A and B are shown apart, each in its own frame.
Chain A
Amino acid sequence: MNSLFPSIVSRSQSSGLMNFFVPIISIVLTLITGSIIFVLLGFDPVYALYTFFISPISSTYGISELFVKATPLALIAIGLSYCFKNNIYNIGAEGQLTMGAIFGGGIGILFHDTNAFWLLPLMIFAGAIGGALWGLIPAILKTKFNTNEILTSLMLVYVALFILDYLVVGPWKDPFGYSFPKSRPFSESGRMPLLFDGLRVHFGLIITLFLIFISWFIFAKTIFGFQLKVSGYSPKAARYAGFNQTTLVFFAFAICGAFAGIAGLAEVSGPIGLLYRDISPNYGFTAIIVAFLGRLHPIGIIFASLVIALTYLGAEDAQLFLQIPSAVGFIFQGLVLFYLLGAELLINYKLTYKKLL
């Protein structure tokens, strides 16, 4: 006879199979919980789940929108994986995104009546610099002043948002904008080229895929990637091997900040086309979930970004057709992360039933 409750036993080696299955388990559990929530709210769960997860992507336009939302999420998440692999908890990507949008968008506003091939590359470069500089602040505070990066990077989000607010109601306000808090529109050559006519999916997707490929190469094939991984697994081993932790922290924050900055610039020069207050529906925070759900692996992050992007679209449709507030999307995102973190137990531990007799 076996005992009723399983006991948790440590694995000698983490399970590769479970590493693959845990994200899938957590998505399935989220869907089950989601249907229960819909039933409790008084909806037919099949119809609600269809509205949430199928109907948003049942048209070409819908699929294009999925990629529009997944682009910033995947780009920020791959940047975050440089930090998270090394146990650096940068949770201020939203601020780095905002700073990237300010730097890159600032160039766009400065050259609002210029049409030249160099404008967009310059904006992208400025966006990367802005995000990287904003990311370097917590890196410096962590390495030089021993300050917890979780709190400083998060506080800097608020600071960046107030700076953006100041700019769009103050010096960068559109002089022809009827005093709305928004900037001049960028010129045509300051916009991300669209990939297909009539669809909003833009060149930012190509940039994202390119940077994900580069990151895969760095993680898998370079010493730097190896150092990141080792100092994440065992800081002692990394110190013994002579890896410079300060340099690693600086690089991780700078790369993550630059990626988030490019994501922010891609948003304002892609779908939006100017600067205003609400440039990001929490992409910087949601990307944290994408990074974990993708298990910090480039391929995993691509799939995870599509899944989480779907929760954004589904939430919009749910509000439109079911009159459920779109915040339900954040609930799904929170749930999927809860299940993922809980199910991670299966990677390093196994459940066994002790024999009682």
Chain B
Amino acid sequence: MNLDLILGILQIVLIATTPLVFAGIGELVTEKSGVLNLGVEGMMLVGAVSAFIILVITGSYFLAFFLSILSGIIMSGLFAFLVLFLMSNQIATGLALTIFGIGLSSMLGKQYIGTPIDGLSPWFFVIFSFLIVFLVSYFFYKTKAGLILRAVGESHNSAHALGYSVIKIRFLSIIFGGSMCALAGSYISICYAPMWQEGMTAGRGWIALALVVFATWKPERVLIGAYIFGGVTILQMNLQALGLRFPGQFFSMAPYVATIIVLVLISSNKLRIKLSAPASLTIPFYKGR
């Protein structure tokens, strides 16, 4: 194997993994505050389609990314309103967000399937994805605000008793998660693909959710996990391209099977999961006015 080939594969892995890092780190912040948002896939799709449409209409990359992130804020804001103010079941509400997002994105994007665009170079976002992970890590473990956010996720009643606004902190965490998911989606439709296709995130939102468990809720480990999954995905694509006498579908299912295996390996240590998961995850906060 020559050096060029190795560098080439490394480049592809970096480009393919970046959306997983964005979505994973966004969901990690949401979960750290004690809220599980299963709507990642839906928010990514809506983010992807809105970025694509706005780029086609205005031709501005800045507007495309900016308004796509706004779509993530609106989608996650809807989720936040339901789970925080109406205290709805987080799991069911997240699923509703995904179903709604799948429908909304394919309806909005119907007439844009096959529209050609000039893709944007991914490298800025690749670097940004590393940066954001370290910023989140710094925020969690070196700043007071980060400590408060983690406290809300561990015990919302204690945080409330200390005078912190549980609802406000959770709202902001959910919104951050939503914007990161939309960014991941717009990266896929504008840098990675670059095109729009129905359901083009292909389960990456769910893999991002699995990444958070894999990372045992620690930011830097999202990076490690994402690159393992990204590596497996690119490896299977390359093996498929080699044209081995082995059906392609079995390669295509590799990332999903790998996700299951990794989840099992991480979760089978019950104590580790219990110690690392935010203790208030999925529990609604009711002030009892």
Contact = CB atoms under 8 A, between A and B. Distances in A.
7 contacts: A7-B289, A10-B286, A152-B264, A162-B250, A327-B110, A333-B99, A342-B86
B260 A335 contact: no
Interface in A308-357: 324-325, 327-335, 337-338, 341-342, 344-345, 349
Interface in A208-225: none
B96 A151 contact: no
Nearest to B213: A148
Interface string B220-263: 00000000000000000000000000010110110011011001
Contacts of B38: 150
Interface of A: 7-10, 89, 91, 141, 145-148, 150-152, 154-156, 158-159, 162-163, 165-166, 170, 285-286, 288-289, 292, 324-325, 327-335, 337-338, 341-342, 344-345, 349
B159 interface: no
Contact of A349 (B87, B210, B263, B268): B87
Contact of B82 (A151, A329, A342): A342
Interface of B: 38, 78, 82, 86-89, 91-93, 95-97, 99-104, 106-107, 110, 198, 203, 206, 209-210, 213, 247, 249-250, 252-253, 256-257, 259-260, 263-264, 267-270, 273, 286, 288-289
Given A10-B288, A145-B268, 18 more contacts: A8-B289, A10-B286, A91-B95, A145-B267, A148-B267, A151-B209, A151-B260, A152-B260, A152-B263, A327-B104, A327-B107, A328-B103, A330-B100, A331-B100, A334-B101, A337-B95, A344-B88, A345-B87
B285 to A, nearest CB: 12
A285 B94 CA distance: 13
A233 B86 CA distance: 20
A92 to B, nearest CB: 11
A151 B259 contact: yes
A338 B267 contact: no
Nearest to A336: B96
Contacts of B273: 146
Given A329-B103, A334-B99, A147 B264 contact: yes
A321 B86 CA distance: 38
Nearest to A151: B210
Nearest to A171: B247
B260 A292 contact: no
Contact of A341 (B86, B249, B253, B286): B86
A170 B245 CA distance: 12
Given A145-B267, A151-B210, A328 B100 contact: no
Contact of A155 (B92, B106, B206, B269): B206
B82 A147 contact: no
B249 A331 contact: no
Contacts of A165: 249
